[in-house]
Amino acid sequence: MPANDQTSERTTSARKLKELCTLALNVKNRTTAASGELGEAIARAVENNHLDRKAFSMVKSLYISFKKDPAKASVVLRNFDVYREALAIDDMLSDELPLEQDEAETDDKPNGKRAKAKKGGKSGKGTKASISEAAERSQREVDRLKEKFSNGGAPAES
């Protein structure tokens, strides 16, 4: 055998290669179908339920992280808050930023019932007070999620 020949005398059989390639194709097809289904569901939620695609993407990533590794996700969330503060992101909010949806349906009640979001002010624009209130609500929700996931996803006992 020549010295530069990299082939081995032992190799995977053609039958096993075909089996693995068929499995890979089937998994790819199922993954593509599931991905398409998720994309369609998100597109419907954007259109019909006023889902913010970018915000959903960010919170979905955090949610999945908490489900996989709550300790690591807690560090990420803590660092996110530190970075947000360091970059003064909250200070970048202005009075011109619309905060609330106009009579949009939301799924924010704990019992799963739909609630109507109220239009903020006469112009529908957020004010500094409503921005502050929204930030406080967001922080309470973050604290609630931290508590929930620090208990391994089990509800906190009262």
pLDDT tens series, the chain, 158 aa: 455 555 668 889 999 999 999 999 999 999 999 989 999 999 999 999 999 999 999 999 999 999 999 999 999 999 999 998 999 888 887 655 555 554 444 444 444 444 444 434 434 444 455 566 666 777 777 777 777 766 655 554 54
The pLDDT, as a whole number, for residue 140 is: 76
How far is residue 157's CA from residue 101's CA, in Å, rounded to a whole number?
34
How far is residue 132's CA from residue 138's CA, in Å, rounded to a whole number?
10
How far is residue 27's CA from residue 51's CA, in Å, rounded to a whole number?
29
Non-local CB neighbours of 145 within 8 Å, separated by 6+ positions: 66
How far is residue 59's CA from residue 63's CA, in Å, rounded to a whole number?
6
Cβ–Cβ under 8 Å, residues 101 and 134: no
The pLDDT, as a whole number, for residue 91 is: 84
Among 59, 79, 56, which residue's Cα sits nearest to residue 67?
59
Say which DSSP state 120 is in: P
Residue 120 CB neighbour total at 10 angstroms: 17
Residue 126 CB neighbour total at 10 angstroms: 21
